[in-house]
Chain A
Amino acid sequence: DIQLTQSPSFLSASVGDRVTITCRASQGISSYLAWYQQKPGKAPKLLIYAASTLESGVPSRFSGSGSGTKFTLTISSLQPEDFATYYCQQLNSYPPTFGPGTKVEIK
């Protein structure tokens, strides 16, 4: 299986901050990468697929970049509703695997 690591695992930030989360794959996955947001007690929500394509309805403050083995999710100006856990997922090879998550909390 392809392993994904995320950094940081925990992030404390303030409303209005620019936040960047990194996801690294154990081998090249082209742009077969998605990002999800999960709030406590809720299902994950798709934010970005194909590494940089914003899912319909997702605010433009979210953006993704990268290819190969290194990817980033950026929130340009953190909003109160963005405090959540973020997961990356690779879909280059089966089984699709998820990163361990990055929890974004209020400073």
Chain B
Amino acid sequence: QVQLQESGPGLVKPSETLSLTCAVSGSSISSGYYWGWIRQPPGKGLECIGTIYHSGSTYYNPSLKSRVTMSVDTSKNQFSLKLSSVTAADTAVYYCARHFDYGGTDDAFDLWGQGTTVTVSS
């Protein structure tokens, strides 16, 4: 079955860049889905960071756009997130997820990774 697995440092210093990777197994990342990152600060709700298509087309949340870069590596079947100039407010569980959009209203994030906790602290 299709699985997503996040990886990356659990601790990042303020002002540095957070880098995470999501490995996709059981399906090709070029299979027609979008791939996204969502985060959840401790005890809070969910925030969509952005999504990327296998072609490299990206859609970023305007609130984070100036600091976000997403990329896809089809040869490794994985996609990545970089968030620059981090502060304590970026401390969260970061999830990668598959985003299907079949046209019309058939649109949702149907598969999620287990999540990885990133703490921003010196």
Asked whether, in the complex, the Cβ of B105 is within 8 Å of the Cβ of A94, the reply is no
Asked whether, in the complex, the Cβ of B48 is within 8 Å of the Cβ of A97, the reply is yes
Asked whether, in the complex, the Cβ of A87 is within 8 Å of the Cβ of B45, the reply is yes
Asked whether, in the complex, the Cβ of A91 is within 8 Å of the Cβ of B62, the reply is no
Q: B85 on the interface (CB 8 Å rule)?
A: no
Asked whether, in the complex, the Cβ of A51 is within 8 Å of the Cβ of B105, the reply is yes
**Interface 0/1 of A45-60, CB less than 8 Å to B:** 1100111010100000
- Bound Cα distance A44, B115 (Å): 10
Asked whether, in the complex, the Cβ of B115 is within 8 Å of the Cβ of A43, the reply is yes
Q: A53-B106, A91-B107, A97-B48 are in contact. Are A45 and B112 (CB under 8 A)?
A: yes
Task: Give 11 new A-B contacts, CB below 8 A, not counting A43-B113, A94-B61, A95-B61.
Answer: A1-B62, A31-B105, A32-B105, A34-B109, A42-B114, A43-B95, A43-B97, A43-B114, A50-B105, A51-B105, A99-B45
Asked whether, in the complex, the Cβ of A49 is within 8 Å of the Cβ of B48, the reply is no
Q: A94-B59, A95-B62 are in contact. Are A44 and B107 (CB under 8 A)?
A: no
- A sample of 21 cross-chain residue pairs with beta-carbon separation below 8 angstroms, ordered by A number, consists of A31-B105, A34-B108, A42-B114, A43-B112, A43-B114, A44-B46, A44-B95, A44-B109, A45-B112, A46-B108, A46-B109, A49-B107, A50-B106, A55-B108, A87-B46, A89-B108, A94-B59, A95-B50, A95-B60, A98-B46, A98-B48
Residues of B within 8 A of A43 (CB): 95, 97, 112-115
Q: Nearest chain-B residue to A48 (Cβ)?
A: B108
Q: A74 on the interface (CB 8 Å rule)?
A: no
**Interface 0/1 of A90-104, CB less than 8 Å to B:** 010011111111000
